[in-house]
């Protein structure tokens, strides 16, 4: 299991090399890529802010949970930090296992948990010149349960 944050482009060949294992008949990879649109707005580029100490420990926890729940051999998750252009990799998850069902389920679990648990924030820069923290400006109107 290997979780990491990187401020340089994600190195796919290195991930593949880490997941070579002759006992594994199945490999599942998920790639999150910078998309050119979000909720109707044309996106130009992204910026990811990461709080590394907690992102690292939480990311390792997620991989450990996946390894506990499914019989997988190895897993890798790398998240990008900083400025990203269209099409660049924001996150890559890779899992290998003897059979495919486990690899699919574990990869899905890892990306689903990573999206909601890692202390990472995304700022979208739009073609219009505006920029927004995703999820933030839009939920600012909602009261939150804890702020009495």
**Do the bridges between strand 82-85 and strand 41-50 make them parallel or antiparallel, or are there none, so unpaired?**
antiparallel
Q: Which does 146 bind (CB under 5 to 8 A by kind): other proteins, a copy of itself, none?
A: other proteins
- Taking CB under 8 A as the binding criterion, the range among 24-32, 62-70, 125-133, 138-146 that sits at the site for a copy of itself is 24-32
Q: Are 134 and 122 in contact (CB under 8 A)?
A: yes
Give the separation between CA 14 and CA 104, rounded to whole angstroms.
21
Q: According to the binding rule CB under 8 A, does residue 104 interact with a copy of itself?
A: yes
| Sign of the dihedral defined by the CA atoms of residues 10, 42, 108, 64, in that order | positive
Q: Based on the shown chain and the rule CB under 8 A, indicate whether residue 10 belongs to the binding site for other proteins.
A: no
Kindly give, in sequence order, each residue whose CB lies less than 8 Å from that of residue 118, ignoring residues fewer than 6 positions away.
50, 55, 58, 59, 62, 79
User: Is 117 near other proteins (CB under 8 A)?
Assistant: yes
Note the helical H segments in the chain: 12-18, 52-69, 100-117
State the minimum distance, in angstroms, from the CB of residue 70 to other proteins: 19
Which positions lie near other proteins, rule CB under 8 A?
32, 48-49, 51, 53-55, 57-58, 79, 90-91, 111, 114-123, 133-137, 139-140, 142-148
Which positions lie near a copy of itself, rule CB under 8 A?
20, 22-37, 86-87, 98, 100, 103-104, 107-108, 111
């Amino acid at each position: 299991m290997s979780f990491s944050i990187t401020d340089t482009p994600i190195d796919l060949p290195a991930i593949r090399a880490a997941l070579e294992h002759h006992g594994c008949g199945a490999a599942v990879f998920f790639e999150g890529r910078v998309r050119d649109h979000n909720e109707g707005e044309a996106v130009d580029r992204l910026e990811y802010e990461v709080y590394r100490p907690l992102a690292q420990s939480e990311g390792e926890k997620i991989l450990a949970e996946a390894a506990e729940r499914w019989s997988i051999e190895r897993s890798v998750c790398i998240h990008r930090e900083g400025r990203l252009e269209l099409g660049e990799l924001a996150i890559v998850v890779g899992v290998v296992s003897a059979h495919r069902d486990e690899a699919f389920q574990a990869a899905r679990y890892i990306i689903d948990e990573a999206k909601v648990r890692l202390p990472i924030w995304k700022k979208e820069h739009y073609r219009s010149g505006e920029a927004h923290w995703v999820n933030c400006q839009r939920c600012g109107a909602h009261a939150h349960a804890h702020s009495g």
